[in-house]
Structures are given as structure tokens and as C-alpha cells.
Amino acid sequence: MSPGFKVQLHLALLWMVILQGRGRYIEQNEIIDDVFGMLNSELKRELSEDYIYRRSLKCIDMLSLDGQFTFTADRPQLNCATFFISSPDEIITIEYNYVNIDCQGGDFLKVFDGWILRGEKFPSTIDHLLPLAERYIDFCDGSGTKTVFRSSQNVAMLFFRIHMPGNGFSLTVTKLINPFPCNVISQTPDGRFTMVIPHQKRNCSFSIIYPVEIKLSDLSLGHFNNLHLKIPITSCSGATDFIELLGGNKLDPSRMYPVADICYSFSGPAQMKVGCDNTVVRMVSSGKYINRLTFEYRQLSPRELEKPNRNSVEDFCYTDD
């Protein structure tokens, strides 16, 4: 991974921290400073990444590499969070090596299956296979025999609160290959991805936390595959299998605006610019077909963002600063 890649990743976090300005975890300005510090230290670390990587965690931190990570409170740390992210086709496992916290005294250590900021979740509650309560694994809830957590997608989070200086925990992060990634947050502002839902009744969202130009191609939605459509389709209402392109300045796909719906197969390409902070490609699948879509995306340059194309669908994001 190049240093440039790291910068982008941390800018994504920075974006979210600023976006959620009044968030519970970022009420103090010092945490914003922490994010800048994080950016710098991650860059330095990138240069010397050979063997099992070990480092200490900060109260607010982001991890994208395998390794062993340790947090030790130097003072009461009440609102800490670690963001984990991996490649789209990976899931993340988190294993506690040791935990030394005071559950009775109000400390906690919780893993969340996804990312969550101010109640906004990725994947959204409607797209995750588990009910919300089961997406949290609380070390302190007594059933703490389970020390290995496995995420459902390429992002996960850890929340913790530790009152007593000197207390802390250590964990090991590893990645596993996920042959059918469903919900994904892109690690990079540019990329290419093929989403496949093979005969499953579920919906998948691919989120790109940048304003992008997105090029869709090779969409196949089972039901219209062998049909030559002559009538133009004006609405997707009634379709059971379709693609939604969403834009917005939120993390949660269920709270974003529809930019386009596509409910017929085509080989494409179809190209669109979405000038929003977050762009989501969502596939809705009835389970009757093998649905597949390939798309490429690239970040819009500041210049492209300056000159919004009036009368276009993406106007709402340019104005919704």
C-alpha cells in the first residue's frame, strides 16, 4: 500500500469526524487534533511495515493493517473508538489477547459489526443480516467467553471506556477472504468492483466516501436477460431486482437520496457524476436470480466540484454543503 492510499483513508475519517461535528465521540476539539496526529503517524509507519506489526492505539484511531494493537489508558478515557477497514473482499477478525478493564466500575469494551457515527450505521439496519442488538458484542455482558469477533463486511468498530489509568487491553487483527462481499465501504477514492448476489434474498450496498464519477457496466438482473426491450422503462416501481444509485452527506445508505434506479440489464457503460460526500451503489435482490453489476469509480477533482452541471440529478449534493 502506498502512502497516498493511507492519506486518503485518513481523510475519509477526517471527513466523517468533521461531518458529524457534534458527535458524541468528538465533542472536544482535541480529538480533531488527534486525527491529524493519526494521519502523520500512519504515514511514518507505512515506511517500516515488514513483520508482525505492533503499535499502541489512540483513543480515536483507524486501523487498516493486520497486527497487534494495545491500548493503555494514561488518564480516564471515556469516549474512545477504533475504526477498522480492510479490502472490499475481506472480513476482519478481532481477537482479544488480554483485557484489563473494570466492568463493574463502568468501563466497557464493545465491538460493532460495521461503522456507526451519531446513530448512522453502515451497513444500514435494513441491509444487515443481523438485528441491531446482535451487531454489538459487549465484553462486559457476562457471556464474555467469546473472545474472537468476526465482522460481516470489510468494516468494524470498537468502542471503549476506561476509567483507571494503567488499565487497557490488547487485540490482534487479521483478515479473511470473503468470496461474496455484500456491504462494503471503499478504502480508496478510485477503484473497480463487481457486485454479485447469487440467488439470495438480500440487499447489498457499496459505499464510496468521496464525490465520484461512477461508470456502471455489465448489469445483469436475471429476469430481463433474454429479452430485447423496446419499450423505454420510465419507472422501476414494481421491480423486485434493481440497482439504486444513492448520494448524500450521511453514512447510512437508508438515509441517502436516490440519484438513479436501474431495473433492466444492460452492458453499458452508463456514467454519472455524484457530487456528494458519500455515493452508494445498492443492489436489491429477490433471490430468484443471479444479479451482477460491475462499476468503476474515480474521485471528482476540486474543479469538477466547483462547476456543478445545473439541471442535473446531482444538484442536491452541491447545494447541501
* Site of interaction with ligand NAG (CB under 6 A): 126, 201-203, 284
Closest alpha carbon to 13 in 34, 30, 41: 34
Q: How far is the CB of 201 from ligand NAG (least distance, A)?
A: 5
Q: How far is the CB of 240 from ligand NAG (least distance, A)?
A: 8
User: Would you report the helix, strand and coil content of the chain in percent, each value rounded to 5?
Assistant: 15, 40, 40
Question: Would you state the cell numbers that stand for residue 70, as one nine-digit string?
Answer: 494495545
Between CA 216 and CA 265 the distance in angstroms is 11
Q: How far is the CB of 185 from ligand NAG (least distance, A)?
A: 19
Q: Which residue lies nearer to ligand NAG by CB, 54 or 201?
A: 201
Q: How far is the CB of 254 from ligand NAG (least distance, A)?
A: 8
Q: Which residue lies nearer to ligand NAG by CB, 64 or 286?
A: 286
Cβ 269 vs Cβ 217: under 8 Å:
yes
Q: How far is the CB of 180 from ligand NAG (least distance, A)?
A: 15
Q: Which residue lies nearer to ligand NAG by CB, 81 or 263?
A: 263
Q: Which residue lies nearer to ligand NAG by CB, 126 or 233?
A: 126
Q: How far is the CB of 25 from ligand NAG (least distance, A)?
A: 29
Cβ-proximal residue to ligand NAG, closest one: 203
CA torsion sign for 23, 25, 27, 31 is: negative
Give, for 295, the enclosing helix (H) or strand (E).
Answer: strand 290-299
CA torsion sign for 314, 317, 320, 321 is: negative
Between CA 61 and CA 34 the distance in angstroms is 8
Q: How far is the CB of 255 from ligand NAG (least distance, A)?
A: 13
Q: How far is the CB of 220 from ligand NAG (least distance, A)?
A: 18
Taking each helix axis from N to C end, the angle separating 3-19 and 29-46, rounded to the nearest 10 degrees, works out to 170
Q: Which residue lies nearer to ligand NAG by CB, 186 or 203?
A: 203
Query: How big is the chain by its Cα radius of gyration, in Å?
Result: 21
* Long-range CB contacts for residues 35-43, cutoff 8 Å, separation at least 24: 35/10, 35/60, 38/10, 38/13, 38/62, 39/6, 39/7, 39/10, 39/11, 39/14, 42/6, 42/9, 42/10, 43/3, 43/6, 43/7
Q: Which residue lies nearer to ligand NAG by CB, 188 or 285?
A: 285
Cβ 25 vs Cβ 81: under 8 Å:
yes
